[in-house]
Amino acid sequence: DQQVKQNSPSLSVQEGRISILNCDYTNSMFDYFLWYKKYPAEGPTFLISISSIKDKNEDGRFTVFLNKSAKHLSLHIVPSQPGDSAVYFCAASELSQGGSEKLVFGKGMKLTVNP
Amino acid sequence: DAGITQSPRYKITETGRQVTLMCHQTWSHSYMFWYRQDLGHGLRLIYYSAAADITDKGEVPDGYVVSRSKTENFPLTLESATRSQTSVYFCASSLRGGYGYTFGSGTRLTVV
């Protein structure tokens, strides 16, 4: 059973507009969430994270929102740039109760930003 | 150079052959991981290691063997390669697993 779900496989937006990438999770014990970005022929790279004690974390053009009651998080990219075109993975872990050894990843979403 | 490196970057092998993918990290991270990336499946964990000489199965371990005699190395061996193991393989390391990883650049393996 998939614990982290990215239900939309792809998203296409115009340069300068907002990109919203969504992620849902089923395990209520998850308390730390991350987004990774992956370009073709490269490994995933860390983008931004959020702890469950927060509902928002911002880093430049990237903001992650967490809605614990809905078990939903989203990544907002404003404004979107062509260089943001990549596959984005949502990931989660359980840091409480002694910590988690590994991340659980979603299947990824391909974002295309058109010039 | 500091970081995490995977070798080879590309590999073509025949069905039934044994092949080993290498992963080396210079940070002395405790945790190391092997993932495979396939269309429609995202990143799936094959094996991971919490420290030298400690390994554990992930989601898709069948057909793979790992070892970790040294903290910095975590090789992945396909004992008898099958076409279903054609994939892109990523190694990752982490100081504290659940806080996030650093990934290598990947090995694209084709089994013919």
* B1 part of contact set with chain A, CB < 8 Å: no
Q: Which range marks the domain in which residue A78 is found?
A: 4-114
**Is 70 exceeded by the pLDDT of residue A97?**
no
Q: Which one has a higher pLDDT value, A43 or A97? A: A43
Which positions in chain A touch B100 (Cβ < 8 Å)?
34, 46, 49, 91, 103
Number of independent structural domains in chain A:
1
Mean pLDDT of chain A: 94
Which chain A residue lies closest to B38 (C-alpha atoms)?
A107
Least confident of A52-56, A78-82, B96-100, B105-109: B96-100
- CATH assignment, B4-111: 2.60.40.10
**Is 90 exceeded by the pLDDT of residue A71?**
yes
Q: Among candidates A3, A112, A103, A41, which has minimal Cα distance to B93?
A: A103
Contact criterion met (CB below 8 Å) for B4 and B28: no
CATH number, domain of A102, equals 2.60.40.10
- How distant is the Cα of B11 from the closest Cα of chain A, in angstroms? 14
Across the range B78-101, mean pLDDT stands at 93
Site from A36, A101, A109, A110 to mutate, B interface, most B CB atoms within 10 angstroms: A101
Residues with Cβ < 8 Å from B34, sequence gap 6 or more? B21, B23, B45, B46, B47, B48, B58, B64, B66, B74, B76, B89, B90, B91, B92
Which value, in Å, is the radius of gyration of the alpha carbons in chain B? Answer: 13
